[in-house]
Amino acid sequence: MRAAAAEATIALAPWVGHPETTAHYFPPINREPFDVKRARDRWLINVQHGLRALPWAKNPSGGPRKMTAGLRDAAFSIDALVRTAMLFHGPEA
């Protein structure tokens, strides 16, 4: 595994560690202050949508052939939890 990873790193040298797609920034169309209640309600809707996409919800048997994104699929949940915690506690938490 280490040898294969080392070969892949050499082959992909300029691109290793870069995201698969570039980030796109879209400035807000409406620059007025947002309604906190509306933002919270939409956040909760997104959280509920995300819960349905958790790997153990969409693939309860854990069958690897049903995983659509492999380890990325499993890491999504951890990444989301860390980012949510940072909203409340800051990056030093």
Query: Do residues 54 and 77 lie in contact, with contact meaning Cβ atoms separated by under 8 Å?
Result: yes
Q: How many domains does the chain have?
A: 1
Torsion (CA) 18, 29, 34, 93 in degrees, nearest 10: 10
Instruction: Give the closest residue to 58 by CA, choosing from 43, 75, 74, 78.
Output: 74
pLDDT digits (tens, 9 = 90+) for 24-57: 888 888 888 878 888 778 877 877 777 777 777 7
pLDDT digits (tens, 9 = 90+) for 54-89: 777 777 787 777 777 767 777 777 777 777 777 666
Q: Pull the structure tokens for residue 84.
A: 């949510």
For residue 71, the enclosing domain spans 2-89
What DSSP element (H or E) covers 72?
helix 70-89
Statement: the pTM of the whole predicted model exceeds 0.95: no
